[in-house]
Amino acid sequence: MRTTTDAIWFERAKSAVYAPVELPDPGPRDLVVRAEYSGVSMGTEIWYYSGRRTGDIRFPAVPGYQTVGIVESAGADVVGFAPGDRVFVSKGNISEKHPRNWFGAHMRTLVADFETAIKIEDGIDPREAVFSGMPAVSMRGFGYLKTQPGDKVIVIGQGMIGQMSAQLSKIHGLHVMATDHYPMRVEMSAAHSSHRAVTASEVDLVAWVKEQTDGAGADIVIDTTGVPSIFKQCVDLVRHRGQIVMQGWYPEPISVDFHLTHLKEPTVYFPCGFYKEAQLQALGWLKTGELKIDPLITHVFHPKDCQEAYQLMLQRPAETLNVLFDWEQ
């Protein structure tokens, strides 16, 4: 008899339900993991939930790609993991009787290929470890940059990717400025992520950055907003021959004013995804305290309240930053 487990389902756009899902029989390469926490991607999952991310999704499906839990059993061919280990899992498998899955990490029990899991060392808070993919995403963009200590960077958008981009820049010795439309995120950034942070509606951002950089503009501009029209402002903010990272996910095409960009001669990067090695590095920084995630968690929900959680994130983003599902409640 096949096993079922509780899961979060996206039935259709703007409809999340807590319902059972049938699991496949674990294979020799599989781990069976009991979830402790799963984290919401405020970017990707909200695009998906709202129905705006098209092309690589369909409904219904189990969302999520950030879960931390305890290994309950390991298949005969599993290497490096044993029952009792705490692991990060980005994808859980479900029975073929269900519609195609989409990562599918928001489940109480996960069956996952061991090569997709990452072991979490002792001394790392599982509430922080569950979001360790977020700094890894920021590291993908940061890894393209040529930086020197003291370089001045402006990070636009202080959602989770923006906060992690700011903290990562600080770890590498850069002087970090940050901005967001939401005062709560600006306050969190000033306290935990950047050196200086301002609310976008309260300043002329280009003038403010020039004041901070002796009129030259930022050495590096990192945008995490997902707003295509922001590219022109990135060009306005960057110094001559500076660097721009378009770190967000942009649902509409980005237009480039060739003449203005041509005069600045910036190098522009469009990173995508992250590597496991970057996540392992992020976990190391969480263990040493150089990265701080727990102070950025604004809400914890029981998974059965998933519709309330996603509606909150969609309708009141000014009040949310990191949202966690607690599977052990």
pLDDT band at 329 (very low <50, low <70, confident <90, very high): confident
pLDDT score at 95: 86
Q: What DSSP element (H or E) covers 282? A: helix 276-288
Average pLDDT, stretch 319-328? Answer: 96
pLDDT score at 274: 86
**How far apart, in whole angstroms, are the C-alpha atoms of residue 100 and residue 94?**
9
Bridge partners, residue 117, by sequence: 89
Tokens linked to 186: 């600006």
What number of CA atoms fall less than 13 Å from residue 60's CA on the CB side? Answer: 16
Average pLDDT, stretch 97-120? Answer: 89
Q: For residue 165, which of 130, 146, 140 has the smallest C-alpha distance?
A: 140
Q: What DSSP element (H or E) covers 71? A: strand 67-74
pLDDT score at 13: 93
pLDDT score at 2: 67
- pTM exceeds 0.85, yes or no: yes
Kindly tell me the sign of the dihedral angle through the C-alpha atoms of 58, 60, 64, 68.
negative
**3-state SS class at 4:** strand
pLDDT in tens, 182-204: 999 999 999 999 999 999 999 99
Asked if residue 148 has pLDDT above 80, the reply is: yes
Asked if residue 142 has pLDDT above 70, the reply is: yes
Tokens linked to 291: 């990265």
Query: Scanning the structure block, which residue is given the tokens 């931390």?
Result: 68
pLDDT score at 223: 98
pLDDT score at 53: 76
Judge contact between 9 and 17, C-beta under 8 A: yes
Tokens linked to 19: 């319902």
Helices within 81-195 (DSSP H only): 126-129, 133-142, 160-171, 183-192
pLDDT score at 1: 44
The overall average pLDDT reported for the chain is 95
pLDDT band at 123 (very low <50, low <70, confident <90, very high): very high
pLDDT in tens, 211-237: 999 999 999 999 999 999 999 999 999
> pLDDT over 90 for what percent of the chain?
89
State the helix-helix crossing angle for 230-237 and 205-212, rounded to 10 degrees: 30
